[in-house]
Amino acid sequence: MSDISTFLLNSITDMQLTADGQYLLIHGNQPTAALHRSVLNDLLVALPNAIEHADRVAHNDQQMGFALQCQGWEVGRLNGMGMVVIRFHLSANAGLSFSLPADQIPYLLQALGGVVAAEEPRAGGTTLQ
């Protein structure tokens, strides 16, 4: 088995997709990193978890959470499917979409209504259901 080498990337100066859309190139203080599109979904899941865990360790607070800042949102269905798509607009024109079965919408509305109606903030300022 070969040794795995690690390079430390602590600044990003630019990111771009290759012309064929197969790789995300990340330019920074180290040689360019090229991430194949097949790992981008895994990276999307791993990064918020890593941010939250790193903040918990740095602040010695196991209850600390992480949430992306959202500038807007939209809701719809794709091609008349039974799935509802919720798209959040993040900074720099980035978007993040989630789909869920339409029959879950009443529960989502109930949860949102509960958060809006809550009179006193909870520990950490966030209530998750």
Residue 127 is encoded by which pair of tokens?
A: 């209530």
Give me the residue label for tokens 């190139």. Answer: 25
* pLDDT score, position 67: 81
Q: What is the mean pLDDT of each run of 10 residues along the chain (129 residues)?
A: 75 95 94 93 90 90 84 86 89 87 91 80 53
Strands 33-36 and 72-77: unpaired
Q: What are the extents of the domains in the chain? A: 68-117
Joined tokens for residue 13: 């100066």
pTM of the model: 0.64
Q: What is the pLDDT of residue 129?
A: 46
Exposed (0-12), middle (13-18) or buried (19+): which is 108, by Cβ within 10 Å? middle
Q: What is the pLDDT of residue 119?
A: 65
